[in-house]
Every structure is written in C-alpha cells, then in structure tokens.
Amino acid sequence: MTITEAIQLLEKFRAGGVSRDRVLLAFQAAPVADLGFAQVDTHRALRKGFPEVIFGAGKTPEQVVKIAVKILASESRVLITRITDAHARALHKEFKRSVVHHEAARCATVEKSPLPKRPGTIGIICAGTSDVPVAEEAAVTAEIMGNQVERIYDVGVAGLHRLLAKSENLRRANVLVVVAGMEGALPSVVAGLVSKPVIAVPTSIGYGASFGGIAALLGMLNSCASGLTVVNIDNGFGAGFAASQINALCSDGR
C-alpha cells in the first residue's frame, strides 16, 4: 500500500464509504512480497516516505528488474544504486523511456511521475573530480526524493580559494553533503564556515596511505568542527537520503 492509497482509504473511512474492518484488514496485510530470491518491503514508503531502494551490486540484471517491477506495481518511482551497464540495459528493455541511467552516479531511476520539489536546497560538495561518482550518488538520491540540489564540485582544500568563492552558495543550503577522499579535510572546513548540518562522506580515493578511505573516515570522525556527522566510506546514497530527511523537516517547518 502506498502513502497515497493509505490516505485515500482513511478518507473513505472518515466519509463512511468503507468499513472499519476493511481498513484494519488493509493495514494488517503482510508488508512483504516474496519473490523467492528477495523479500520486497512493500510498506517502506509508509514508514520512510520513499519506497525501498534496490542495491544493484551482487544482483543479476534479471533480479533487479523483477524487484523494480514489484515495487512499481504499487509505487510511482524507484531508485536502483550501484548498477552496471548490464543492469542498465535490462532496465531499459523493461521500462523503456521511463528509466534514466545516471552513469556517473552508477544509479538508475524509474519514475511514473516525479515528486514535486520541496522548498529549500541540498548542497552537494566534493573535493575532487575523482570523488564525483559518490557525490553524484548522493545528488541523484536527493533529487528523486523531491529535493532541489546544488552541485559544487572540485573545490578541495589544496586550492581553498575555489571553496571560498562559493561561500554564499554554501550558506544558502538547508543541509550540505561534503564528499572527500585523501585525508578527508574538506568537511571540517565546510562545517566551520556554515551554521547548517553537514554530512561528511569519505571516499576510497587516495594514495596508498589512505587505506581505501579509512584515513579520510578517521579524519572526519575526529573533526573538531561542530554540526558534522559522518557516513560510511563511499556511501553517497546514505548521505543523500539523510540530507533529504533533514531538508524535509526544514521545509515542513518542523
């Protein structure tokens, strides 16, 4: 059951058009669709405000398509992350022009109708061009969830003037996602410049002593900047989702 369907059912009950038992039965229905190889959470949107997101890595193209079909049977949109070209081809074959392959983000989106954009902006900042795939994953996630996104890329601390030139853009956003590899210094700098929440994303980009992103992760976790939170290495999706939730609270006045 989608959020829209749940609201419509409750409105019918209030108007006397449907019985209490019918409403209770609808909400008691098992929120899982068993596909054999996957248990699809059909009530995710009711709890989280957005349908279950498909993690493509490790799944066959056929499995990804079947899960997407099941989600779209009751939802108007789906996000698939960490896909390959083979996944993208299978999705295009099934959904034709409804699917968009976001190559840089390694994501695909299928939308029957896009969500209206809520007021407020999410800023996505990345240190270097090599960090763009993770930053784009965050941006695509935030956009399909109904947010306006402003991208500020290649503004790492090796050339701090590039970031300072965007100071007004940083302050305008309701929440900022800052993506960086190497030593992971950029989120600390950004958090020291703004009064808004900053979500730091360490990436696995860097030379040998960066240890696949662990150096950046530890640097961000040990930041002295206030209002900084950290997600896992390369987790652009998690950062984009959290930023969307924060922006939704700001936009709703909560």
- 20 vs 141, higher pLDDT: 141
- In the predicted model, is pLDDT for residue 29 greater than 70? no
Question: Token pair for residue 23?
Answer: 């409403």
User: What local confidence, expressed as pLDDT, does residue 149 receive?
Assistant: 97
Regarding whether 37 and 87 lie in a shared domain, the answer is yes
How do residues 149-166 score in pLDDT, each as one tens digit?
A: 999 999 999 899 999 999
User: What local confidence, expressed as pLDDT, does residue 20 receive?
Assistant: 81
Regarding whether 181 and 153 lie in a shared domain, the answer is yes
DSSP three-state, residue 233: coil
Q: Are strands 77-81 and 107-111 parallel, antiparallel or unpaired?
A: antiparallel
226: in domain? yes
Regarding whether 9 and 107 lie in a shared domain, the answer is no
Backbone angles phi, psi at 35, to 5 degrees: -100, 5
**What range does the domain containing 10 cover?**
1-30
